[in-house]
């Protein structure tokens, strides 16, 4: 399969490049690094449709346990199958009859291979966080498994803007949250996402969440905001490059 992504600028100039199956993993890393370098704002070298495809692709790979190269080689027409598969998996997490087991499997998958989360776009990370917050097990050790997976996702966040973008997309379909009707003029949509995590986490996990949040908030107030090296995050947790 080949995906073409084009950029058109003033005067009719632009470029087109192709991504093949053997380079799709590297391209996903490239997209995430460009998001990071732009502090998770709009990427003007990708169309919105192409960006949504890559977001769906990475979420599908994690939820379905399929290799990214294999899924990508099935072609763009496979996008609808991936979207349906994601929706079905997330629906299962909302079903009280099965959601605890499904949430535990998702948590184990994330804890076993956190690299699958590291380079997810904010929409994808928000979707996973919301899925893990669906229901807690009545047994402490299994509840902690979900909470640990949530912390693993939070540990991949590299800037305050990324944090807020993820909190704004804490929905089952990755769409943007809407502020609660009672929210005041000084409230932001991302605080709605925060409230979901605060209600779910407790004890040591909640304290760790607060520590991570404060770390990112403090870094955002520096005159020159440091960039967090993604390799350092992958290997050691949050660390400044």
Q: For residue 236, with 0-12 CB atoms within 10 Å meaning exposed, 13-18 middle and 19 or more buried, which class applies?
A: exposed
DSSP element (H, E) containing 100: helix 99-112
Q: What are the structure tokens assigned to 137, written together?
A: 């097990």
* 181 pLDDT more than 80: no
Q: Which of 1-5, 17-21, 75-79 has the highest mean pLDDT?
A: 75-79
Predicted TM-score (pTM) of this structure: 0.72
Cα distance between residue 205 and residue 209, in whole Å: 6
Q: What are phi and psi of 102, to 5 degrees?
A: -65, -40
Q: Each residue of 24-68: pLDDT tens digit?
A: 777 777 877 777 777 776 666 677 787 788 888 888 888 877 888
Structural domain boundaries in the chain: 2-236
Output the pLDDT for position 209.
Answer: 94
Output the pLDDT for position 166.
Answer: 93
Cα distance between residue 149 and residue 151, in whole Å: 5
The dihedral region occupied by 40, where left means phi > 0, alpha psi between -120 and 50, and beta the remainder, is left
């Amino acid at each position: 399969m080949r995906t073409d992504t084009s950029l058109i600028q003033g005067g009719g100039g632009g470029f087109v490049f192709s991504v093949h199956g053997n380079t799709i993993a590297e391209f996903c890393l490239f997209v995430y690094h460009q998001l990071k370098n732009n502090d998770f704002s709009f990427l003007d070298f990708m169309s919105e449709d192409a960006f949504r495809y890559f977001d769906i692709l990475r979420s599908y790979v994690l939820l379905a346990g399929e290799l990214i190269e294999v899924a990508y080689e099935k072609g763009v027409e496979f996008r609808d199958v991936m979207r349906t598969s994601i929706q079905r998996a997330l629906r299962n997490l909302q079903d009280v009859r099965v959601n605890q087991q499904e949430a535990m499997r998702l948590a184990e998958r994330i804890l076993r291979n956190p690299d699958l989360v590291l380079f997810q776009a904010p929409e994808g990370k928000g979707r996973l966080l919301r899925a893990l917050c669906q229901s807690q097990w009545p047994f402490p050790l299994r509840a902690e498994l979900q909470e640990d997976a949530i912390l693993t996702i939070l540990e991949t966040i590299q800037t305050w803007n990324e944090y807020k973008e993820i909190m704004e997309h804490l929905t089952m379909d990755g769409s943007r949250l809407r502020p609660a009707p009672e929210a005041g003029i000084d409230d932001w949509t991302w605080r709605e996402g925060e409230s979901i995590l605060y209600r779910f986490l407790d004890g040591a996990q909640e304290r760790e969440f607060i520590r991570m949040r404060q770390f990112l908030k403090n870094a955002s107030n520096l005159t020159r905001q440091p960039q967090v090296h993604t390799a350092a995050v992958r290997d050691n947790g949050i660390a400044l490059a």
